[in-house]
Every structure is written in C-alpha cells, then in structure tokens.
Amino acid sequence: HQVFTMSKTMERITFILTWVFQGSSYLSAYGYGIMHRMHHAYTDTEKDPHSPSHDANLFAMMWKTKTIYQDINKERITVDERFTKNVPQWKAF
C-alpha cells in the first residue's frame, strides 16, 4: 500500500530475513505485490487472480493463484506497468 519505503540495503536484508523465517512458505515480494494489486483492481471479476467466484472449487482457485504467481515471478506473462511500479524485485534471490 506504499505506506513507507526502504533503502536497497534494508530491502535486501528484509528479503533474506523473510526467506529465513518463512521457509517453504516464502513468497516473493515482487510476485505477491503484483498479484495483490491485480486482486484489488479486478476484485471478483474474471481477471481477479484469486477470486473464488470464478473457479469450480477452492482447490481450483488455489491452483490458479499458484500458477499466476509463478508466471508473474518468472516473467512468463506480461503485466501492466501500473501493477509493477515500485514493487521490490531481487531477481537473484
């Protein structure tokens, strides 16, 4: 929600500590941030990356969410620039 900003050094320290403490449930700030913005822009429409309104069941929604998250993170899909502005990304991590 862009409440505060960090220096690049603090951003990277935060990436590492988040990865250490979240372990296998770690999500990239880049992928999560973009998906979060898309969700707010497209709430409960076909373009919402995780709306239960347009999937057959909870598991289908979760699978679709995982797939979209991975596609965003690996840059396999084109994302509108309004969703990527100022989202932290550390490709090497």
> What digits encode the pLDDT tens for the residues 57-77?
999 999 999 999 999 998 999
> What is the structure's pLDDT at 41?
95
- Residue 36 burial by CB count (10 A; 0-12/13-18/19+): exposed, middle or buried? middle
Tokens representing residue 88 in the block: 């932290």
Tokens representing residue 10 in the block: 């603090």
- Give the chain's largest Cα–Cα span: 43
Integer Cα distance of 83 and 80 in angstroms: 6
For the segment 33-51, the average pLDDT, to the nearest whole number, is 92
> What is the structure's pLDDT at 93?
63
> What is the structure's pLDDT at 67?
93
